[in-house]
Amino acid sequence: MTIEFETPKPIVQTQFVLKTVAEEMMRAKSRYFDEHEHEIPWDYIEFMHTAMKAMGVGSLAPKEKSNGGEESKEKRPPIAYQMLATQMEMLSWGDAGMYLITPGGGLGAAAVQAAGTPEQKAKFLARFVEEKPTMGAMCMTEAGAGSDTSSIRTRAVLDEKNNEWVLNGEKIFVTSGDKSITEYEKLGKGFIVVWASIDPSAGRAGMRSFVVESGTPGVKVTKLEHKLGIRVSDTASISLVDARVPFDHILGSPTVEKTTTGFKGAMATFDATRPLVAAAGLGVARAALEFLKEKLAENGVQIRYGVPRQKLTNIEREVIDCEIMLKSAWLMVLKAVWMADNKKHNALESSMSKVKAGDVGTKITQKAVEILGPLGYSREFLLEKWFRDAKITDIYEGTGQINRLVVARQILGYSGAELR
């Protein structure tokens, strides 16, 4: 036990590699794909798939590589989540939208990883490291159910005769929904994980998740959203009309007792994913802050650290505030993922890191555009795109308000019923 902030070597290496990837394979095409919404960046997808396979990196859910022998495992501190956070930060620094279409299981695989039986994990996760790049996605949100996930209306009814689940409903805002469920020649067979109710009267207790593979009849993309930012990431509406999946596609235990275990299991995966999404948001913020400082320096504006507040120019003060925000937010992410790596319960730290990152991402990108005046507002630079990309951080994976609620419940010791 100690207090230490030395970046582990493997992470330093990763940062170096991903910087090249970010600059050469992402930023080089950022503007193109931002302006050609819904075109698919196949070069990037193929490259990442090949590279990740070559480096032995699987889907988004982190795995500890076995380093051969229990002894070596003990000596090396666990850094899988720290590594993942770094990767997400670096790639989002490149292009936040493109990062989201990095092939892999995404939140769909994360759900299988968190809630699936060993058989389900084997059946569903292997595809992400096979020959073709493959995508997974999570379907939770509906037109009438965003923050209030317990009011989803998608229904799953068991057809006992055929031993199949029949799903009906419409999901919206599914990240990578199109690439996960539509059949593309260049992609492997992906899947979506659909949250549905097996008993609406039971509320949360009746919620379960189901793996629905690409090619399942009755499942189709009905809309691709036009967005403020992260335009290269497809955000799909998916309708399920009498879509049938085998019985064992219900994640976790196949029993249908009324229990909130399933729901809580999903919420627990958010403890793991919240700091990671925060990390991605901070990558965009960092890009904006670096650009701001570069442009200021080009124009002869230096930031004098160490000077008393009364002597700082307004711009210096604002930039210093942005540095403070960015550094502290990143440390909060690091602590949260360090806790995950060391198997410490981190619901509070996880949500705090998301609150902070959502706030910081918004503030830094907005401040940078403001300070750079006419340059900040121009599409000649990527900054205005980062302003648009950053905003989603405070919205998805639990809005800043929901995460404040989660933090508040933790610090006050309140249940969901006590603090709504």
Partner 1 sequence: MPLTISDLMSKMPGAFLPEKAPGLDAAIQFKFSGAEAGDWYAEIKDGKCVTAQGVHPSPKMTLTADSSDYVKIFTGELDGMAAFMQGKIKLAGDLNLAMKLTQMFKIR
Partner 2 sequence: MYSFEPSEEQKMLIDAVGKYAVNDLRPAAREAEEGRLLPPKLVAKGWELGVLQASIPEAYGGFGDRSAVTGALAGEELAFGDLAGAIAVGTPNLFALPILLGGTEEQKQEYLPKVIEGNWTPYTSALIEFAFDFDPLALKTTATLKGDGYIISGEKAYVPFAKEAEAMIVYAALEGVTQGFVVSKGAAGLSVSDEAEKMLGLNALPTYRVKLDGVKVPKANRIGGDSGFDFERVLASMRVANAAAAVGVARAAFDYARDYAKEREAFGVKIAQKQAIAFMLAEMRTEIEAMRLLMWEAAWKLDTVKDDAFIEAYLASTGAADMAMMVTDRAVQILGGHGYIREHPVEMWMREGRGFAMFTGFTMV
> Rounded to the nearest 10 degrees, what angle do helices 314-341 and 80-100 cross at?
120
Shortest CB 266 distance to partner 2, Å: 22
Separation of alpha carbons 235 and 225, rounded Å: 6
Task: Provide the minimum distance between the beta carbon of 48 and partner 1 in the complex, in angstroms, as a whole number.
Answer: 10
Verify whether residue 397 is a known catalytic residue. Answer: yes
Under rule CB under 8 A, residue 222 binds partner 1: no
Of the candidate residues 16, 42, 247, 414, the single one contacting partner 2 (CB under 8 A):
414
Listed residue (230, 236, 278) closest to 94, CA to CA: 230
- Asked if residue 289 binds partner 1 (CB under 8 A), the reply is no
Q: Are 385 and 233 in contact (CB under 8 A)?
A: no
Work out what residue 16 binds among partner 2, partner 1, none; the CB cut-off runs from 5 to 8 Å by kind: partner 1
Site for partner 2 in 77-106 (CB under 8 A): 77, 79, 82
In our burial notation (b when 16+ CB lie closer than 10 A, e otherwise), range 45-70 reads bebbbeebbeeebbbbbbeeeeeeee
Identify the active-site residue in 89, 316, 349, 397: 397
Question: Measured between alpha carbons, how far is residue 240 from residues 88, 92, 138, 167, 272 in Å?
Answer: 31, 32, 14, 6, 29
Helical ranges in 101-156 per DSSP H: 106-115, 118-125
Amino acid found at 95: D
Q: Based on the shown chain and the rule CB under 8 A, indicate whether residue 20 belongs to the binding site for partner 1.
A: yes
Binding partner of 126, given partner 1, partner 2, none, CB within 5-8 angstroms per partner class: none
Does 276 interact with partner 2 (rule: CB under 8 A)? no
Closest approach, Cβ 330 to partner 1, in A, equals: 22
Q: Three-state SS for 69?
A: coil
Judged by CB under 8 A, the residue of 7, 32, 36, 50 near partner 1 is 50
Residue 162 interface partner, choices partner 2, partner 1, none, CB cut-off 5-8 Å depending on type? none
Q: How far apart are CA 263 and CA 201, in angstroms?
A: 15
121 binds partner 2 (CB under 8 A): no
Backbone angles phi, psi at 147, to 5 degrees: -65, -35
Quote the tokens at residue 286.
Answer: 């960092």
Residues identified as active-site: 397
Residues binding partner 2 (CB under 8 A)? 1-8, 77, 79, 82, 305-311, 320-321, 323-324, 327-329, 331-332, 334-335, 338-339, 349, 352, 355-356, 401, 404-405, 407-408, 411-412, 414, 418-420
Residues binding partner 1 (CB under 8 A)? 13-14, 16-17, 20-21, 23-25, 43, 46-47, 50-51, 54-55
